[in-house]
Structure 1
């Protein structure tokens, strides 16, 4: 086992640990440790809400989830010799739930969760069709996930970090804040909001000096979206065996990570669409000096996926085009066409006895494949959703016998409050 350089005690809150990570992006957040090129190390990661979501049959915790507190990131980790313009090579050697803790109150202790977030607290990809808060708990048996809230489904998890990235430079941070602020101004009262501006309240900034805290907290970017530094990309194939090449914007690179997922469908469409958990990740880092210019990677990471994907061979696919539910034609709107493909898949699964929310959760948590299938045939883009048929305990394919009827069980709990 590699040396653990960022330990987390499951009995303590994130901010009470011996080493404290962060939940904002800023170049001045001090590194918690320094590693050398070629060095391997282990990092513990806390689930993104630090225990606010619990293993029960209520979704009130999803409704009231403290979004201003996320993500709870491990790091930053400085890399000796890294300079702006380099590429930081990160190899994911291993990743999994909290070791030797098969039960307990924290996600990652033998269980995880998927949430459909309420429209007034995060929302989701299909927020207009699913505006209320729901939750599903998943139990882990080895690499298999099952849920009392979504019966008839089991699948192999493709475990991965949802969030990993390097620190932005001061100039890059200012660019983020300017462009996202400009977007917010176009519709400042939108629900859900168009973007999340800096929010000093609940900021966690590691070991930053108290004299600098208020200034940095007022500038630091929220961790919700992916950006040029990587960040919250939620790429399910960035799993064990993956090699990632991150642009370096500050001395030391200052790598941070977290938001581990036991499984996820492409798009993480319910907003908390993955199976969220805490756990560990083993990494090795190296440098390509001057690599950003050499390979034309001036922004956004490139990566080589690992080869541990679940071996599903048969799929049922659904397509969608860029036409709204009320029949309005949109021009090559791939976001809309993927929404329509997902809604078609949900409509289909409902015919087997699932509630729409259970079907939505399946698409968020199971290893579905989302594809941008056509983007040139005006006016309609075409997107597709591929569902592996083997994740179901029954035959989900169309047949002359008609849809098999499942017992939906207790269902996905819905928040009692709106």
Structure 2
């Protein structure tokens, strides 16, 4: 086993650990450890809400989920000799649930969860159609996931970190805050908001204290969106065997990782769309000196996906075009087209006995493929959603015999108000 350089005790809160991680981006957060180029090491990760979501049949915890505390990130980890302008090369050697803990109250101890977030608390990709909070609990058996809240479905997880990235420079952090503040000011009363401004409340900044903490907390960036440093990209293909190249903006690079997912569909469309869990990740790091200039990778991460993903070969695909639900034409709106494709898939699955919310949760958690299929033929973009038919106990393909309805047990719980 690689050297464990960031350990977490499952009996303690994230802020009570021997080494404290962070839940905001800021260049002044001190590294918790320093490694050399070529090093291999293990990191423990807490699920993004640090135990606030429970293995039960209520969705009130999802309704009330405290967004101010996310994400619980492990790190930063400094890489000796890394300088701004380099590329940090990160290999994911292994990733999985909490080791040797297959039962317990924390997601990752043999189980995980998927949530539809309420519109008033973050929402999701289809929040106007699904404004209320729902939850599904998934049980792990090896690399397979099943849920008492969604019958007739089982699949092999594409385990991956939803969030990994390097620390921003002061200049880059200022740029984030300016552009996201400008966006929010165009519609300041929107629900959900257009962006999430810095929030000192519940900010965890590693070992920073006193005036240093207060100064950083006032401007530190929330970790919710992906940005130039990588961040919360939620790419389901960043699995075991992946190699990622991150821009380096500060001395040491200051790499952080978290938000582990047992599985996820493209887009993580319910916002908490993956199967969220805590666990571990084994990483190998190296440097490409002056790599940002050499390869033109200056404001994005690039990656080589792993080759250990589950291989599904039978798919049912749904298409959508850039026309709103009330029939308004939009010009090459690929985002809208993908929403319509998702809604078509959800409506289709209800013919087999699933509730719309169960179908929505399936699209968030199962390894669906989402694609922008046609983006040049005015006025309609075309997007497609590919659903692996092998994950269902019944045959969900159209046939002359008609749909076979799944036997329902417990429904996906909805928040009480």
TM-score when normalising by structure 1:
0.99
The residue correspondences of 1:172-211 to structure 2 (distance < 5 A) are 172-211=172-211
Residue equivalent to 2:240: 240
Q: Is the 8 A contact 1:355 1:408 kept in 2?
A: no
2:10 partner SS: coil
Residue equivalent to 1:265: 265
Residue equivalent to 1:74: 74
Q: Deviation per CA, 1:110-160: give whole Å up to 9, x if none.
A: 000000000000100000000000000000000000000000000000000
Q: Is the 8 A contact 1:169 1:249 kept in 2?
A: yes
Mapped pair 1:110 → 2:123: no
Residue equivalent to 2:134: 134
Residue equivalent to 1:222: 222
Whole-angstrom CA distance in 2 between matches of 1:268 and 1:326: 25
Whole-angstrom CA distance in 1 between matches of 2:190 and 2:288: 43
Q: Deviation per CA, 1:246-302: give whole Å up to 9, x if none.
A: 000000000001000000000000000000000000000000000000000011100
Q: Is the 8 A contact 1:88 1:247 kept in 2?
A: yes
Whole-angstrom CA distance in 2 between matches of 1:245 and 1:317: 32
Whole-angstrom CA distance in 2 between matches of 1:366 and 1:181: 34
Whole-angstrom CA distance in 1 between matches of 2:310 and 2:387: 13
The residue correspondences of 1:389-404 to structure 2 (distance < 5 A) are 389-404=389-404
2:20 partner SS: coil
Residue equivalent to 1:31: 31
Q: Is the 8 A contact 1:19 1:32 kept in 2?
A: yes
Whole-angstrom CA distance in 2 between matches of 1:172 and 1:211: 22
1:153 partner SS: strand
Q: Is the 8 A contact 1:115 1:136 kept in 2?
A: yes
Whole-angstrom CA distance in 2 between matches of 1:211 and 1:408: 56
Residue equivalent to 2:97: 97
Whole-angstrom CA distance in 1 between matches of 2:186 and 2:38: 46
Structure 2 residues without counterparts, runs of 5 or longer? none
1:38 partner SS: coil
Whole-angstrom CA distance in 1 between matches of 2:306 and 2:415: 38
Residue equivalent to 2:2: 2
Residue equivalent to 2:293: 293
Q: Deviation per CA, 1:375-407: give whole Å up to 9, x if none.
A: 101111100000000000111100001000112
1:292 partner SS: helix
Q: Deviation per CA, 1:314-356: give whole Å up to 9, x if none.
A: 1000000000000000011111000000000000000000000
Residue equivalent to 1:156: 156
The residue correspondences of 1:38-49 to structure 2 (distance < 5 A) are 38-49=38-49
Whole-angstrom CA distance in 1 between matches of 2:373 and 2:411: 33
> Cα RMSD between the aligned structures?
0.4
- Greater Cα offset, 399-408 or 53-62: 399-408
Q: Deviation per CA, 1:158-212: give whole Å up to 9, x if none.
A: 0000000000000000000000000000000100000000000000000013221
Whole-angstrom CA distance in 1 between matches of 2:341 and 2:327: 15
Q: How big is the shift at 1:83? A: 0.2
Residue equivalent to 1:11: 11
Whole-angstrom CA distance in 1 between matches of 2:90 and 2:384: 31
Residue equivalent to 1:335: 335
Q: Deviation per CA, 1:199-248: give whole Å up to 9, x if none.
A: 00000000013221111000100000000000000000001000000000
Residue equivalent to 2:345: 345
Q: Deviation per CA, 1:62-100: give whole Å up to 9, x if none.
A: 000000000000000000000000000000000000010
Whole-angstrom CA distance in 2 between matches of 1:31 and 1:189: 37
Task: Give the paired residue count.
Answer: 417
TM-score when normalising by structure 2:
1.00
Whole-angstrom CA distance in 2 between matches of 1:348 and 1:84: 50
Mapped pair 1:385 → 2:391: no
Whole-angstrom CA distance in 2 between matches of 1:9 and 1:257: 17
Q: Is the 8 A contact 1:132 1:414 kept in 2?
A: yes
Residue equivalent to 2:319: 319
